[in-house]
Structure formats: C-alpha cells, structure tokens
Structure 1
C-alpha cells in the first residue's frame, strides 16, 4: 500500500492534471468466513494507516460460483462493531435471473450500507431497493461490454441501465476486465453506454453527465479539475453545445 501511494504521488507531481488514485482492498468470495474476517480486519487497519488512499473493501469473483454477502455478514459487521468507518463497494446482482442468491446480494449490499453497487444488473427488478439506492445516492457501477460478453444482455438498448438512466438513478461506467475483453479501458464502455443507453436522444450533454457521475462519486476536487478541462475542450470545439 505504501508503494502504491508513493508511486501515485510521484506520478501526480509530474502530471498535475492527473488527480490521483485510490485502492479498494478486496478478498475473494470463494474464501472461508475466517479468511474474509481476517481480510476485513486488515482493511480496517489499512484504512487507519492510509485514510486518504484506501477507499474501502469489496468481495470479488463470480457471484454465482462464490458465497453470498449474507454468508459473510459476521465478518462484514466487524467495522461497525468496532466503531471503524470502512466503506463497502460491493459487486452485487450480476444476474438476469430473479430469485437467486446472486439476485439477493443486491438487497444485502444495501442493508450493509454499500457505497456503490458493482454491476447491479438485477436492480431494475427490485423497485423498493432501486428507490432506496437512489435516495441514498448509491451509484450503480455499470459494465456494458462485460454484460454483453457474459451474455446478460445482447442489445444494450435493452440494458436495465437504460431505464435507470431515464429515471435519473446515479450511474457510473466501468470497464470491468478490459484486457480480457480486448477493449480499450473506459473509452469503449463509454461509447457503448452513450449509444446504447441514451438511444437517439443522446447528445454531448449525456456524455458529460456520465463522465461527471464517474467523478462525483470519487471526489469533488477532481470534479472541479475535470470541469475546467471540459470547458477548455468545448471552447476548442465550437461545434459542441452544452450547458
């Protein structure tokens, strides 16, 4: 963690327009309860030692082949029991089948006060959970290319995120595993979200809002920096119109 932090500071010193980076500490959802409990305790200590660099904790790995969030409830309750603030960024609801344990992960993620929902493909089928996440400002981290590659959706115009976008639910765009999928980091995912989710009504303002969301749920300071760059970009391209 110290090495990551030092390298980030070094890079920022020579690239002032790069805001920085933060780490989400993770463990695998295939692990035993005792292993995840130890990982949560380690994350709690790292949050104390690196308060501005460690963002929080998550469980990774395929949901349908791993254990549920509810299975790890005792481990995940440790920070609250100890009076420690450790934000969660849970992957949850990466499924197109209602009623499965993966589907239920969405509800447990919200009960465990997750700061963000990774994938959240099933959220549209849970009106109460969807309303709760919107009111809490819990953004859904949408991974368009990943969802297509894993055959959750064939046509992005039918992606649940398209409806969430129309309802003004907070969305952020992620690339999931770009190297594995042969995509170019966030660029390809942003393009697919722009074209697929917004449809014929998409415009430069839609693209701006997707970008703003991705930064707003990260840092207000970074948003100020991005807004300055955006204004410069629009000024240099007079054919663009935005508010």
Structure 2
C-alpha cells in the first residue's frame, strides 16, 4: 500500500473534474475508507448504493452518517444487478419478472447518464480475486482506466490496510456479519446464513423486509435451526 500514490490518483482526477460517482456499499470498509479520502477534493460526490432489499434500517444508518459527515456527498439508491437477476429467474422464492440481464457496467452507464458525471470511482482491490488482479494489472498505474473513465484508488491495498486506515482516522467501523474473522467485504448477501442470522438477532425489522422480498430466506433459517437442533441432539446422545 502506498497512501501517497492513492491520494495522488484522487487529486489527479479532481484536477480534471469536480463531480464524481463513487460506488458505495453503505457499511463496507472500502467504501468508508474511500469516501473519507475523496471528500476534501471534489465539489460533489454522488454515492451509488446498490440494494438487494430497499431501505434496510442498518444500512440506512451508515448512509445517514456519511451524508452528515461529508456535506458534499449525496446518496442515490438503485437495485443491485443481483436483484434484477434474482427476479428474472424467480430465485429465492420471488415472483419471476422478465427483467433483462444486468451487470455493474450497465448500472454504471445508467448512473452516468442520469447524473451527467463522467468519472466513476470503485473500491476494487487486486487481492479481491484473480479476475480483479488481472484487470487492474492491465492499467499502466493499476488504478486508472482512461478509456472507461474509472478510478480504482485502493488497487494495491490489502483488507488489513484498509481497516488500519479506518481506525487511524476514527471512522465508523464497517459491519461484519457473523464471527468468521474474515476481513473481506461481505455485503447484504441473502444467500449467506450469517447475514440472515445477524439480521434476526439485531434488526428483525430488516429480516422481515428481506423475507417479504425473498420468501425462501425464511426457509433457509428454518432449515438452519433444524440442523442445529439435530446436531445438538447428536452430541447429547
């Protein structure tokens, strides 16, 4: 990690444009880190939050915190591409709707057209996956796609370094669903039992919204509870 190189990439972009899009996960560490780095350098930062289920209370708390801390940022919310694809194929018990296939690139293009902002910033890192490493290594500085008008300031950062930056700057701690010790961003994954259990324990109102949108999540919790009881009985026998 080279903090000066990261900040220089942000400053270089701010010399070109005064408005920028930031894809922001709400409660994720990369987004929390990036917004704090970018805020001093742009007139307006439009944060794009892609939701699987709209208006989850625990996510909105983070969004409101960010908007209060950084007066030059505002959030817009749009369905995640996974939302469209769940609906398209009727996954997780949802009613099947004939949406077209969506991906991050299409959503980025849509937001750019709506906001009339040319450049997007994303929190991709080389250690996120092999595909991202190959993609970021294809750029001369690993951070800037001039052709795509995209910036990846955290390309060379590790998850540990992002968390260190957050704590050093006394920012809001990112959310972790479950006690796995995993430092990777988890996000609102309705297929992750740790996420569903966390919502049930701490934000039951959010779980209710999730079940209303994707009814099969209730079955997943029932099956998990049943398997836990069976395991307990087996250990007692």
**TM-score of the aligned structures, taking structure 2 as reference length:** 0.29
Higher relative contact order by CA 8 Å / sep ≥ 6: 1 or 2?
A: 2
**TM-score of the aligned structures, taking structure 1 as reference length:** 0.28
